[in-house]
Amino acid sequence: MGIELYWDNDEQTVMLCEIAGAWTWDEMFATFDNIEKVTARLDHNVDAIIDVRDGATVPGGSIFTPTTFQNAKAMLKRGENGTGAVVIVGANRTIKSIYDTINGWGNKTLNKVSFADNVDAARTILAHRHAQPTVSGFSAAQATS
C-alpha cells in the first residue's frame, strides 16, 4: 500500500495519512510536497492524523542507518513549517522511543505531536486541542457562539 493521503473531514481541517507496509523515502517526500501544495492554498491550519497501525516499516529495514538518519532529519526540518497538530495512530514502542529521544533534544517540531490507539481517539484528541482556552481565556467554540 505505501502512503495514502486523504481529507478526514469535509471542512478540510484534518488530513489522514495512512502508512502501511513498504514505502520509500521518495514516496514520503512526495507526500510532504503534496501536503505543502494543498495547505498553501488554505487560510486555516490543517491538523494531521498519521495512521501506522498496518505495520509501517522503515525503508532499508533499519532506523540506525546513515540514510535513515539523514532522511528522518530532513522530515523533521520540513515539519517545522507545519502549523497544525499531529496525532500518530498505532505507534509501536520504537516509534515512541525515537519521539522521546528527539523531543528530549528540545525539538520544537514535536511539541504538537500526540499518540492514539485508533483514528477515532485521534479525532477526539484533536477536538480537545481545539476546545482548549486561548490566551484571551476563550476557546474557539466560545468565540463563535
User: What would the pLDDT profile of 52-67 be if each residue is shown by its tens digit?
Assistant: 998 767 777 777 778 8
Quick one: pLDDT band at residue 141, thresholds 50, 70, 90?
very low
* Domain 2-144 grouped into CATH 3.20.20.80: no
CA distances from 106 to 59, 99, 102, 109 (A): 26, 11, 7, 9
Q: pTM of this prediction?
A: 0.79
pLDDT band at 112 (very low <50, low <70, confident <90, very high): confident
pLDDT number for residue 140? 47
DSSP SS3 for 94: helix
> Please, which pLDDT band fits residue 137 given cuts at 50, 70 and 90?
low
Nearest 5°: the CA angle 37, 42, 46 is: 85
Instruction: Enter the DSSP assignment of 21.
Output: S
- Residue range 40-52: average pLDDT? 91
| Average pLDDT across the chain, whole number | 81
